[in-house]
Amino acid sequence: MIIEVKGYILETEFMSGGLDRQSPPQDLFSVWLKFQDSKGLAVISFGVQIPAKEYTEEQFRQAVYIEALEAIDRMEKEEAEKRVKGLDAEAREAALDCLGSRSAESFGIVWLPVSISIRG
């Protein structure tokens, strides 16, 4: 089954049953979805859980869509946060390289840029 969510084309790979051990306990279907194109997200597939019950195809599609939408929103937010952290780290490295190279030059020492320094 193919489901489109936020412009992503998702293919259902498999589903299985499971028990939610939270209170109140609930029987669940786990549905595994595979991106046809993850458009830069760091995952190629993910799972969602929906209540275990009889579904028409349209009800099933809608239930999976709602859970997939929430999961994709979470993934996109996490990816955006990682990019910001990466940009922050790059900016810090650049500032450190600038300060370090000026200091090293004034002391007559060779400066190795942060990106190639030995880390340990």
**Boundaries of every domain in the chain:** 2-81, 88-116
**How is the beta sheet containing 2-5 ordered, strand by strand?**
2-5, 8-20, 26-35, 45-51
Q: Which pLDDT value is given to residue 117?
A: 57
Segment 14-42 mean pLDDT: 86
Higher pLDDT, 30 or 39: 30
Whether residue 51 is preceded by a cis peptide bond, meaning omega within 30 degrees of 0, is no
Query: 44: burial class by Cβ within 10 Å (0-12, 13-18, 19+)?
Result: exposed
Residues with Cβ within 8 Å of 50's Cβ and at least 6 positions away in sequence, in order, are: 28, 29, 31, 60, 63, 64, 67
Q: Can you read off the two tokens belonging to residue 53?
A: 């019950």
pLDDT tens for 73-115 read: 999 999 888 888 877 777 888 888 888 889 989 999 988 887 7
Q: What is the pLDDT of residue 22?
A: 73
Beta strand residue intervals within 1-120, DSSP E? 2-5, 8-20, 26-35, 45-51
Average pLDDT over every residue of 31-55: 91
Residue where the block lists tokens 């979805």: 33
- To the nearest whole number, what is the mean pLDDT of the chain? 88
Per-residue pLDDT, averaged over 47-52, amounts to 95
pLDDT reported for residue 120? 46
Distance, in Å, from the CA atom of 57 to the CA atom of 52, rounded to the nearest integer, reads 14
